[in-house]
Chains A and B, each alone.
Chain A
Amino acid sequence: MRAGRGINHREPAGIILPGVSGTSLPDDATLMQQVAQGDRRAFLSLYDKYAARVNGLSMRMLRDAMSAEELTQDAFLRLWTRAQTFNPDRGQVLSWLLAITRRLALDRFRLDSRAPPPSESDNPGEDMEGLPDESSRTEEARWRSLRFALADLPPEQRLPIELAFYYGLSQREIAEHLRIPLGTVKTRVRLGMDKLRRAWATDPIHSGRR
């Protein structure tokens, strides 16, 4: 058996090279159109741009570096095979990709009979340096505001939301897992999500866009 052909790693499409002017970065929707046509350079551009974000969410959900990388790989393979189904009118590429990542992770939990989730909430107030500065006017600064809002929730409201969203548990399963009444879980989820919704709706950047 002979080794396969080497794969040429070329520069991603649209990278601005030092000292070279006039090279613009294609927007994500354009890159997705190119990926849908089988353009690997466009695919690798998206990978280089978003791999850390996807891997971060994978790690957040699976809590294991090797499993997270497998999930990241699966998510990008899904992007490669499903690029044609992406509709830019319905949202951003990153949101679409992260939603795929979440669904794949939840599928894994189901296939593996769901690994036991933590019974204590993460502290989402830690390690904020990976997110855009709050004062920045970029769209991603909104995620920082939401993160602060999540961190401000009482732990008893934050935990059931994290178990539902990041582990795919139903309210009934959360009640069983935490050994508290179902009605209590429903109340905590409702109060917590309502606070997040209000925080989101009053976010100055978000409000300015409405």
Chain B
Amino acid sequence: MAHKEQQLLGAYVMGALDSEERIELEAHLGTCQECQADLVEYQQVTDGLLHLAIPIAPSSGLRASLTARLAGHPGSLPSPRRPGIVRAPQVGFAALAVALLVLNGGLILETRRLAERGQELLAQQEASQTALALASYSTSQTAFVQEESIWGTFVYEGNFPLAVFNVWGLPTLPEDQAYQLWLFNPDGTRSTGALFRTSTSQDLISVLIRSPVPLGEVLGFGVTVEPNTGSPAPTGPRIIGADFDHSP
């Protein structure tokens, strides 16, 4: 081998180098075409190592379980919609100035709308990641709920104070209202798990639920319609909810 760095490539592709060696090698790779070519071959070896395990069919229940869990994951997000190109009309200066003012106003509104949408997507992503983390625990539980055209799942693990509520078909509320999710405490009180709104562009919404105590101590949950700033206790009608079954 021509370079001492080449001797590190096998360990590098497996991620087995210490950080100092890795940094040194990566700096060398940036300038050495011979090592870059060797690296490709080592990467093909590690790609091959992934394929060596003997196939083992999982149990039939896994397919059904996975299908049910898909319901809690919205899937890949579509590409963000790009604002269209707006052409300035061939009019006089005053009219153009007015048009620009209107355009600026429109852009500000569009920017605000996109920022709000970004916040929604971030919240959705946070909920999805939490759901994914919860799904990795064999002791996680899912409560299925349905009320007429509204249905959903409440995914939780008894030892954690975080859960995810996935719900379909909640009607879009007026600006001054929001949905409030209440957790039922053993002493009969209610705690707020989340305050959220739905958007006309979404049939499914995933909501991250924060509980003051581990979910194993919570008896159930309910969703009501409240003012958009939230209420200290439920005041509106219960839209959907469930009692938890904590038996193993």
Is A40 in contact with chain B by the CB < 8 A criterion?
yes
Is B18 in contact with chain A by the CB < 8 A criterion?
yes
Contact: B76 with A146, CB < 8 Å?
Answer: no
Min C-beta distance of B154 to chain A, whole Å: 10
**1/0 per residue B144-157: CB within 8 Å of A?**
11110001010000
Contact: A200 with B48, CB < 8 Å?
Answer: yes
Contact: B58 with A72, CB < 8 Å?
Answer: yes
Contact: B58 with A55, CB < 8 Å?
Answer: yes
| Closest chain A residue, CB of each to CB of B125 | A81
Query: In the assembly, what is the distance between CA of A149 and CA of B111, in Å?
Result: 58
Contact: A164 with B42, CB < 8 Å?
Answer: no
**1/0 per residue A79-106: CB within 8 Å of B?**
0111111000001001100110110000
Contact: A165 with B63, CB < 8 Å?
Answer: no
Contacts of A55 in B (CB 8 A): 55-58
Is B26 in contact with chain A by the CB < 8 A criterion?
no
Contacts of A91 in B (CB 8 A): 47
Q: What are some 23 contacts across the A-B interface (CB < 8 A)?
A: A1-B143, A2-B144, A4-B151, A9-B63, A9-B67, A44-B67, A47-B66, A51-B63, A53-B53, A55-B56, A68-B56, A73-B66, A76-B66, A77-B69, A80-B75, A82-B76, A85-B76, A164-B14, A172-B18, A186-B11, A190-B7, A200-B45, A206-B44
Instruction: Identify the A interface with B (CB < 8 A).
Output: 1-5, 7, 9, 35-38, 40, 43-44, 47-48, 51-53, 55-57, 59-60, 66, 68-70, 72-74, 76-78, 80-85, 91, 94-95, 98-99, 101-102, 108, 124, 127, 130-131, 140, 142-143, 146-147, 150, 161, 164-165, 168-172, 174, 186, 189-190, 192-194, 196-197, 200-201, 206
A-B pairs with lowest CB-CB distance, top 7: A193-B10, A4-B144, A84-B76, A52-B55, A60-B53, A164-B16, A130-B54
